Each structure stands twice: as C-alpha cells, then as structure tokens.
C-alpha cells in the first residue's frame, strides 16, 4: 500500500513538472517493495524510466527498463501474469525508442509485446487490438521516411491491418468505451488516404472523427490537427 501511495505522489509531481521530486518518490516506492514482489518493483522501475525520459535522459530510461526485464527473465514466477508484465515493459521500451527516433528498435519491442498479447489474451482482446494499432502506427511513421515506391507495400499492409482492427472494435458494439481506439484508427487511416491522394475519403474520416468526443487536451487532438492540415494542403493541390 505504501508503495502505491508513493507512486501516486510521484505521478502528481510529474503532472506538476517536478521530475526530481517524482524520481525521489519513485525511488522510495522501489525501496519499500518486497524483493519477491516483482510486480511492485516493475511498476516502480517503469515509473522511474518514464520520469528519466521526461527529464531528457533516455539512456537512463532504457537502462532502468532493461533492469526490469532482467529481473522478470530471472524470476522463478512463470505464467500469464509475468508474461503480460514483460509485454508492458517491452511496450515502454518501444515508447522510449520511438521518442528518441529509433523506429527500428521501437518496432522490434512493439512486435515482442504484440506476440505476447496474442498468445496470452487472444487476438480479439481489446489490449491486443490496441497493440496491433500501435505497431501499424510505427510502420506508418517508418514509411514516411522512405521513397514512395518503397513505402507503398508497408502502407498498404498497415492499412489492411488497421481496417481489420477498426472493424473488430466496432463489432464490440460499445462505441463509448472504445471511442478513443476508433478515433485513433480513423485518424491513421485518414493519413493513409492522404498519402494515397484520396482527399474525399480522408474528409469523410475527418467528419466521423469530429463526431467522437475526445477528452480535453488528449494527445490524439494534435494528430487530428495534423490530419486536417495535410488534408487542407491536398485539397488545394487537387482544386
């Protein structure tokens, strides 16, 4: 319980921009965690890693996450719980590498996480589907740096996977719960439509996205703004 309180205090410090204070709380949370409580230790180390990333120290963030992975791999505990926790850390690694611009490494860790979620949760679990979506976003970002002829096959494959994933989320028939997943996928598909030179399709997706209620200051708002800006540029070229 004390460890969780310290993590909460650390997260509050992060929200207020006090990274050093947050790191102190996260460190104390790690100190009070039982040596056998790998979940509590992993939560503390993951928090430390993300705080280090926020402080502009990605090398320290990666080192902290590598320590967590080593602990998990050397743990006597086996089964679903440790597998899913390992996948979470792999996702954190993907996030850090994406932030520093190493899309190759980010993609590798995202694939490891996705394989685990598919095996332990099933291919239609919402967590698995979100990881499919995250991986496709990395592939799209990677394709942006390639020549159009090289990027086409990557973008076509990503588009197919995203359309399948969107269909799966819609099939849950719970539009409120999965609204952010749907909005994210439609945003990415809109960007694909722009890359393909299809402004009408992109505009239709933008209208659909606008009907979805996003939380204030949600990171997706920026991506939607990028979509609208690129769409405006494409429409001017077409007219």
pLDDT per residue over 70-98, tens digit each? Answer: 988 887 777 888 899 999 999 999 999 99
Residue-wise pLDDT for 13-40, tens only, equals 999 999 999 999 999 999 998 877 888 8
Tokens at 153, concatenated: 């096959």
Contacts of residue 225, Cβ cutoff 8 Å, sequence gap at least 6:
none
Instruction: Report pTM.
Output: 0.90
% of residues, the chain, pLDDT over 90: 86
Q: For residue range 158-207, list pLDDT tens digits in order.
A: 999 999 999 999 999 999 999 999 999 999 999 999 999 999 999 999 99
**Size of the chain, expressed as the number of residues it contains:** 239
Question: Which residue stretches of 74-147 are H helix?
Answer: 80-99, 103-121, 126-143
Q: How far is CA 148 from CA 18, 62, 144, 153, 210, in A?
A: 43, 33, 8, 9, 29
Task: Judge contact between 121 and 132, C-beta under 8 A.
Answer: no
Contact 88, 131 (CB under 8 A): no
Nearest to 104 by CA among 138, 72, 136: 138
Averaged pLDDT for residues 50-63: 95
DSSP 3-state assignment of 196? coil
């Amino acid at each position: 319980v004390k460890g969780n309180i310290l993590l909460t205090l650390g997260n509050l410090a992060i929200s207020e921009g006090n990274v050093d204070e947050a790191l102190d709380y996260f460190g104390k949370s790690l100190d009070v965690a039982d040596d056998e409580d790998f979940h509590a230790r992993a939560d503390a180390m993951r928090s430390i890693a993300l705080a280090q990333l926020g402080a502009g120290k990605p090398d320290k963030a990666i080192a902290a996450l590598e320590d967590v992975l080593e602990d998990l791999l050397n743990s006597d505990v086996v089964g679903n719980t440790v597998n899913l926790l390992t996948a979470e850390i792999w996702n954190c690694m993907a996030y850090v590498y994406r932030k520093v611009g190493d899309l190759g490494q980010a993609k590798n860790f995202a694939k490891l996480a996705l394989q685990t979620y598919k095996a332990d949760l099933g291919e239609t679990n919402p967590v698995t589907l979100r990881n499919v979506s995250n991986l496709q976003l990395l592939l799209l970002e990677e394709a942006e740096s390639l020549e159009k002829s090289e990027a086409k096959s990557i973008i076509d494959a990503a588009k197919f996977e995203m359309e399948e994933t969107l269909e799966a989320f819609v099939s849950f028939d719970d539009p409120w719960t999965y609204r952010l997943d749907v909005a994210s996928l439609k945003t990415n598909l809109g960007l694909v439509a722009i890359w393909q030179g299809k402004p009408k399709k992109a505009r239709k997706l933008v209208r659909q996205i606008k009907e979805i209620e996003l939380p204030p200051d949600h990171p997706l708002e920026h991506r939607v703004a990028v979509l609208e800006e690129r769409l405006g540029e494409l429409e001017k070229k077409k007219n």
